[in-house]
A and B are shown apart, each in its own frame.
Chain A
Amino acid sequence: MKKILILSILAAAAVLSACEKVSPAGILMAGTAVEDRVKMSNLFYKEHMDDHTVLMAFGDYTFIVGADSHLATDSGRLDEMMAIGLENEDLFYAHLGDLADTKAEYYSTLDSLLKEAKKRYVPKYYTQINEYEYVSKLNQDEHPRPVTYDEITFPFFPVVGNHDITHNGWALWSNIFYSSFYEIDVIDFLPEGDIAFDHLIFLDSASGTLGKTQIDLINQGVLDGKYADGESMYRYTFVFSHTNIFRPQFFEFASTFTREETFFLLDQFEKWNVSAVFCGHVHTWDERNFNGVHYLTLEAMSERNNPEPGNYLVRMHVGEDELAWTPVKMNYTPKNKKK
């Protein structure tokens, strides 16, 4: 019988050490900590409140969402996402995490790709008035405030995914995006002269839990956005999370939130009066309503996971009185695809 015991232990050890993504050390300690990421993110926002990003829209607008690009050596799909957003004049891009596969060179590629996308974005939306300064073409002020190239935010907003933080990936990710837990306001100048505020919430769920610090901050109401009388200041609220809430199929074994955290989030989304929650992680499409909140889980846009062209992106149409989403097809296929 002792042989069975020894064999079982050896088998378990073999299973635990055989896969790069399953680490015996991971049972005992986290390679990267959500607590640290959220504390850093919160600190960054406190120190850079003046930089708090506000997007301006003029009437109905759209934004585009993609997930799980797992950028490695081929940046085709991310390039295509940038081109699609620019061509359609989407207000911003949201990415649901697992941007790249945690090698320094992949994040260098990502950084270059975003810089190139910004080079195409700036001439489309800004007029250069001198060697250093630009003014927005959309700003209808008589004397719009000039901004430098560096002050222009390229509107690409990601959440952090589990593949972004393994092997010290957070150091690479945060070097580009700074913050994993943040919010953005959209000010929509409506045709009748009214103004509406929309709210974008980006959660750090890469570790499969928000962690105590993030939950405490949420419970403290840092993202509530309410007026003194308790009324929400927002017309629509959109939440972006890497880890998915709902599991699309029974054979999907990617870790989702634990029981209590799932119920906490479902309750919190209702309190925030969320219109739509966008999730990635599981690489499988899922759409459902739960308690008045619409949940979309996106397929992976990675060319390695989905080499064939397909509807991997979602475009959200934000109107004054209604919301709608449409699938967006990606046509790029890998250069080395076997036919």
Chain B
Amino acid sequence: MRLNLTILTISLGLLAGTVSRAQVYSGYRHFDGEHRNEVSGFLTGGFNVVTGTFFSEAATYTYHFSPRWSISAGEQVQFLKWVYSADVMGTYRIPIKKKTNIYIDGRFLFNYYGQWKVSEPIINLSALLETSYVDLRWGWSFVSYHKSGIKKEYKSFTDASYAEPLVMTFGLGVNIRERSNPWNLGLYIRNYDLFYYENWNINWGIRFHATLTPLMKLYGEFNVRPAGSLSQLATRYETSLKVGLRYIW
């Protein structure tokens, strides 16, 4: 029965694409000293005011070179929204205490918004402080975009390109139990999600993870993405549910 469950969950994981993105997974994410490989993936279903109902799959592979260094690469396809994403990220871990770490993440992300023919390369540099109950991310993003498919011939590349001023990245998460517990629930607010970095439009939501086997975890979140930030004007813009699997070996 346990084997069947494992096969089922691995299959779901592969279907989803696989494993744990740092932004979503709420357990400890450092190298355990034994399993250098990590794959995670999830499925998302949601509704967006502009694009309507959408579904997406995402997958990430992470390799731990050492207790300090790791690198990961991922992809996401948002069906019906028609957004295609790919990223690579390098991470350096600074241990502070036994259960407290700081992660320095450098990331390159590329998005293509198919409906509007917009390419969006993003560079993000941020630090994540992860304690037993609380995690706090802060950093900056360089976001630019370019619209292709220009109809008028006299327009140049630069006429349809824009580099935003630096965008601050911040996120705060709290868990109700110590992070290493086999299951956990938490709350978060942040101005980014896996494949975008916003300015002052702030997501919030509920996250969870649960241990299925010693090597596999189920995780996910219910994400609310209002327009108009956290103010009284916060207006329905997007809601989504993510469910994923994380496997290490």
Interface residues of A (CB under 8 A from B): 1-2, 4-5, 8-9, 12, 16, 21-23, 25-27, 29-34, 162, 165-166, 206-212, 215, 246-250, 252-261, 263-264, 266-267, 270, 288-292
CA distance A22 to B198 in the complex (A): 18
Interface residues of B (CB under 8 A from A): 48-51, 81, 83, 99, 113, 115-118, 120, 131-134, 145, 147, 150-152, 155, 159-160, 162, 164-168, 172, 174-175, 178, 189, 196, 198-201, 204, 224-238
CB distance from B13 to the nearest CB of A (A): 28
A26 and B230 contacting across the interface, CB-CB below 8 Å: yes
Given A12-B172, A252-B165, the answer on whether A264 and B116 have CB atoms closer than 8 Å is yes
CB distance from B55 to the nearest CB of A (A): 15
B155 and A291 contacting across the interface, CB-CB below 8 Å: yes
CA distance A270 to B147 in the complex (A): 11
Given A255-B200, A260-B113, the answer on whether A16 and B230 have CB atoms closer than 8 Å is yes
A264 and B233 contacting across the interface, CB-CB below 8 Å: no
Partner of A258, one of B99, B120, B234, B237: B237
CA distance A30 to B49 in the complex (A): 15
Report chain B residues within 8 Å CB of A208: 201, 227-229, 233, 235, 237
Report chain A residues within 8 Å CB of B234: 26-27, 29-30
Given A260-B113, A264-B116, the answer on whether A290 and B231 have CB atoms closer than 8 Å is no
CA distance A60 to B170 in the complex (A): 50
CA distance A291 to B147 in the complex (A): 8
B133 and A4 contacting across the interface, CB-CB below 8 Å: yes
CB distance from B192 to the nearest CB of A (A): 11
Report chain B residues within 8 Å CB of A255: 199-201, 227-229, 231
CB distance from B222 to the nearest CB of A (A): 13
CB distance from B103 to the nearest CB of A (A): 18
Given A22-B230, A207-B235, A209-B237, the answer on whether A254 and B200 have CB atoms closer than 8 Å is yes
Q: Which 8 pairs across A and B sit closest by C-beta, in order of nearness?
A: A208-B228, A209-B227, A250-B165, A208-B227, A207-B235, A31-B232, A250-B166, A5-B133
A250 and B167 contacting across the interface, CB-CB below 8 Å: yes
CB distance from A99 to the nearest CB of B (A): 16
How many contacts A-B (CB < 8 Å)?
164
Report chain B residues within 8 Å CB of A165: 233
CA distance A67 to B115 in the complex (A): 32
CA distance A153 to B50 in the complex (A): 34
B159 and A289 contacting across the interface, CB-CB below 8 Å: yes
CB distance from A209 to the nearest CB of B (A): 3
CB distance from A307 to the nearest CB of B (A): 25
Report chain B residues within 8 Å CB of A210: 49
CB distance from B235 to the nearest CB of A (A): 4
CB distance from B111 to the nearest CB of A (A): 8
Report chain B residues within 8 Å CB of A5: 133-134, 174-175
New contact pairs (16) apart from A1-B99, A255-B201, A258-B238, CB-CB < 8 Å? A4-B132, A12-B174, A26-B230, A30-B235, A31-B232, A162-B228, A208-B228, A247-B164, A253-B168, A255-B231, A256-B201, A261-B237, A263-B113, A263-B115, A264-B115, A266-B147
Report chain B residues within 8 Å CB of A209: 49, 227-228, 235, 237
Given A5-B174, A207-B233, A266-B147, the answer on whether A258 and B201 have CB atoms closer than 8 Å is yes
CA distance A228 to B60 in the complex (A): 50
B232 and A247 contacting across the interface, CB-CB below 8 Å: no
Residue of B nearest to A253 (CB): B200
CA distance A18 to B116 in the complex (A): 40
CA distance A9 to B187 in the complex (A): 10
CB distance from A19 to the nearest CB of B (A): 9
Partner of A31, one of B174, B178, B233: B233
CB distance from A20 to the nearest CB of B (A): 9
Given A209-B228, A247-B165, the answer on whether A292 and B152 have CB atoms closer than 8 Å is yes
Report chain A residues within 8 Å CB of B164: 246-247
Partner of B232, one of A8, A12, A26, A258: A26
B232 and A256 contacting across the interface, CB-CB below 8 Å: no
CA distance A261 to B175 in the complex (A): 32
CA distance A32 to B49 in the complex (A): 16
Residue of A nearest to B167 (CB): A250
CA distance A267 to B118 in the complex (A): 9
* B168, B204, B227: most-surrounded residue (chain A CB, <10 A): B227
Report chain B residues within 8 Å CB of A4: 131-134
Report chain B residues within 8 Å CB of A22: 230-231
* A8, A23, A209, A259: most-surrounded residue (chain B CB, <10 A): A259
A267 and B227 contacting across the interface, CB-CB below 8 Å: no
A215 and B159 contacting across the interface, CB-CB below 8 Å: no
CA distance A212 to B236 in the complex (A): 9
CA distance A259 to B216 in the complex (A): 33
CA distance A12 to B230 in the complex (A): 12
CB distance from B97 to the nearest CB of A (A): 11
A/B interface sample: 18 pairs, CB < 8 A: A4-B132, A12-B189, A26-B230, A165-B233, A208-B233, A209-B49, A209-B235, A210-B49, A247-B199, A255-B229, A258-B198, A263-B113, A264-B116, A267-B116, A267-B147, A290-B162, A291-B150, A291-B159
B50 and A23 contacting across the interface, CB-CB below 8 Å: no
Given A258-B198, A260-B113, the answer on whether A211 and B49 have CB atoms closer than 8 Å is yes
B133 and A1 contacting across the interface, CB-CB below 8 Å: yes
Report chain A residues within 8 Å CB of B175: 5
